[in-house]
Amino acid sequence: MNSILVVAEILGDQISPVTWELLAGARQINSRLEAVLDIQILIPFHGSMDLGKDLAQQLAMKSGLDTRVLPCSRAHLRPALLKILEKINPAFILFAHTTLGRELAPGIAMALEASSISGVIGMDADQLVFFRMVMGNTQVQMVQPCDDLTCVLTLVPGAFGADGGKKADPGVDPGQVVMEPGFKPLGRPGVVRKNIVKQVCDNQSLTQARVVVAAGRGVGEKENLDRVVQFAKLFPASGVGASRPLVDQGWISYGHQVGITGTIVAPDLYIALGISGSSQHLAGMSGAKWVISVNTNPHAPICGHSDMNIIADANEFMDGFINKESLLNNVI
């Protein structure tokens, strides 16, 4: 148990940016340990071996770390990983907190009788203590893996910095590239992965807006979205956004969804009406220049991520502002 293994993610024919974040996470872990561990990279890969080798060489060169390519089909990721993990026997295994990472990590941890800590957003400055969100995204939980056990982690994209680990110190030799033997499956996979389709996302009104007015469950009913549209019109170059639950309920189309699973926006002003602030939503709007939240709950997760929190009912507030603006305009 003398290594930290980073399970790389590949997007199409590129190394996914999250892989560099995992390397940054691995380095942070090392700095909290008494004895520094060897960081290694594993690329589970189902594409052509030439491409796999090429990607491995890129990673090994830029990071200075030994990189293995594990040829296996997407359907056999789990047994293939378990087999190679038995061989490598790392002390830490880092996955990205993506759909696949979240799906693979806990079962693998169970099989290895390892600690399993999912959704890591940071670490204590000195100790081997990991932070993750709990209680409806309102509290940070501090978790320590048990000594002497392997530790399986999923790291949230964006939490460990996009540049971390990207470039090795100049003069560091590139790591070795090892092509592992391909995984030979026994029988048909239990989960056959068929096609992947990109959801239609007509989000021009959001990406081009300088002011985004976004509605959440606090607006109450679908009919109140008319008021949101009216309110938004009072701002120049505005667009209407929504939190995920409204889109899931069919109140508004996916093109208006703000969040990691929708559209990431960075307007001059983001007005959140009745939005509590799930992690994926907050990540979608954190790039806004100014954020104003209108919410009845002063302890909602969004409050710490807003410049101004107006503690009020969203509909009453919108009505008040619409009336005020029409009065002002009449005076002029």
Partner 1 sequence: MPMKILVCIKSDSEGKELGQFEALALEAALTLKKSCLSAGISHSRVDVITAGPKESVDLLRRAFGMGADKGIHILTQTQSQYQNLVPASMTASLLAQAVGESAYDLILTGVMSQDLMAGQTGPMVAHLLDLHCATAVVKARFQGNTLVAERELDGGYMEKLEITLPALVSIQAGGYTPRYPTLSNMLKANGKPIVTHEEENFLIGVSREIFLGFKNPKKTRAARMVQGCLTEQLDIFHSFLREKHLL
In angstroms, the CA 204 to CA 304 distance is: 28
Q: 40 or 306, CB closer to partner 1?
A: 306
Closest CA to 20 of 80, 123, 94: 94
258: β partners: 263
Conformational region of residue 274, where left means phi above 0, alpha means psi within -120 to 50, and beta covers everything else:
left
Q: Does residue 149 sit in helix, strand or coil?
A: coil
Instruction: Kindly tell me which of 101 and 175 has the beta carbon lying closer to partner 1.
Output: 101
Task: Pick between residue 181 and residue 330 the one whose CB is nearest to partner 1.
Answer: 330
Nearest distance from C-beta of residue 188 to partner 1, angstroms? 8
64 Rama sector, left if φ>0, alpha if ψ -120 to 50, beta otherwise = left
Least distance CB 290 / partner 1 (angstroms): 6
Shortest Å, Cβ 61 to partner 1: 26
Q: 122: Cβ–Cβ under 8 A, 6 or more apart, which residues?
A: 130, 131, 159, 160
Please report how close the Cβ of residue 77 comes to partner 1 at its closest, in angstroms.
Answer: 11
Q: Are 95 and 153 in contact (CB under 8 A)?
A: yes
Nearer to partner 1, 61 or 269 (CB): 269
**Around Cβ 147, how many Cβ atoms within 10 Å?**
8
Q: Which is nearer to partner 1, 171 or 187 (CB)?
A: 187
Tokens of 286: 């954190």
Q: How far is the CB of 251 from partner 1 (least distance, A)?
A: 11
